[in-house]
Amino acid sequence: MTASFIPPKRVLMGPGPSDVPQRILDAMARPTIGHLDPAFVELMEQIKSMLRMAFQTENALTFPVSAPGSAGMEMCFVNLVEPGDKVIVCKNGVFGGRMLENVKRTGGVPVVVEDAWGAPVDPQKVRDAFKANPDAKVLAFVHAETSTGAQSDAETLGKIAQEFGALTIMDCVT
Ligand SMILES: Cc1ncc(COP(=O)(O)O)c(C=O)c1O
């Protein structure tokens, strides 16, 4: 027989997993309800409205994804990229590489803008890629590449995508 697992108490000091405050642990021990329960729907609406405040947006499609960052990234690609869609994908570290994988798996046509590990995404290269591929539907980049710490200029890159009528998928886990 397998004994019930009782985790030891640890002080977690790394970037993650991190210590969970007792009040959160207590909240997680409350009863489970279904995702169609009126009480759940009401709670979700409250959370969505608070997220809109946090992200300073009025976009009704602001919602949390109850999953790790990788699932959030994949969710964006599988919902926004259709087979044959051109995606300008910036790669300057591990997570840009993961975005490229996502584009390939969804059947998108990647146009890779490559920068050295440790360097931010070069906006001029992105602009040139759009000029050469004006039919690109999406620009994908990582705001801060965790693998190196390099931060890219989200505002400038987002504006370039808008100029060319493309959507932006930004990984802002870090
Ligand atoms: C930039 C970036 N994207 C995606 C991920 C993946 O997140 P998760 O480990 O929660 O799946 C990480 C994790 O460190 C990350 O730093």
Rounded-to-integer distance, Cα 82 and Cα 74, Å: 13
Encoded tokens for 128: 């040139």
pLDDT average, residue stretch 130-146: 97
Encoded tokens for 111: 């146009």
User: So what's the pLDDT on residue 49?
Assistant: 97
Question: Is a pLDDT exceeding 80 seen at residue 46?
Answer: yes
Q: What percent of the chain has pLDDT over 70?
A: 100
Q: What is the CA(92)–ligand 1 centre distance, in A?
A: 15
CA angle 174, 85, 99 (to 5 degrees): 20
pLDDT tens digits for range 60-78: 999 999 899 999 999 999 9
CA angle 38, 42, 47 (to 5 degrees): 145
Q: Which residues, judged by CB distance below 6 Å to any ligand atom, belong to the binding site of ligand 1?
A: 68-70, 73, 95, 142, 146, 171, 173-174
Q: What is the CA(173)–ligand 1 centre distance, in A?
A: 6
DSSP state of 8: P
Rounded-to-integer distance, Cα 105 and Cα 102, Å: 5
User: So what's the pLDDT on residue 159?
Assistant: 98
Pocket test for ligand 1, best of 70, 91, 148, 172 (most atoms within 8 A of CB): 70
User: So what's the pLDDT on residue 17?
Assistant: 85
Helices (H), 4-153: 22-28, 38-54, 69-80, 94-105, 123-132
Q: Which atom of ligand 1 is nearest to the CA of 67?
A: 10
Pocket test for ligand 1, best of 89, 91, 95, 99 (most atoms within 8 A of CB): 95
Residue 130 banded pLDDT, cuts 50, 70, 90: very high
Is residue 63 a contact partner of residue 48, using CB atoms and an 8 Å limit?
Answer: yes
pLDDT average, residue stretch 86-102: 97
Q: What is the CA(118)–ligand 1 centre distance, in A?
A: 17
Which residue matches tokens 């370039």?
160
User: So what's the pLDDT on residue 109?
Assistant: 98
Q: Specify whether domain 69-171 bears CATH 3.40.50.970.
A: no
Q: What is the CA(69)–ligand 1 centre distance, in A?
A: 5
User: Domain-by-domain residue ranges, the chain?
Assistant: 34-64, 69-171
Encoded tokens for 71: 């699932």
Compute the half-sphere exposure of residue 41: CA atoms within 13 Å on the CB side of its CA: 3
Is residue 120 a contact partner of residue 144, using CB atoms and an 8 Å limit?
Answer: no
Q: Which atom of ligand 1 is nearest to the CA of 70?
A: 11
Q: What is the CA(2)–ligand 1 centre distance, in A?
A: 33
Question: Is a pLDDT exceeding 80 seen at residue 15?
Answer: no
b/e code 135-150 from CB counts within 10 Å (16+ = b): ebbbbbbbbbbebbeb
Task: Select from 97, 100, 93 the least CA-distant residue to 77.
Answer: 100
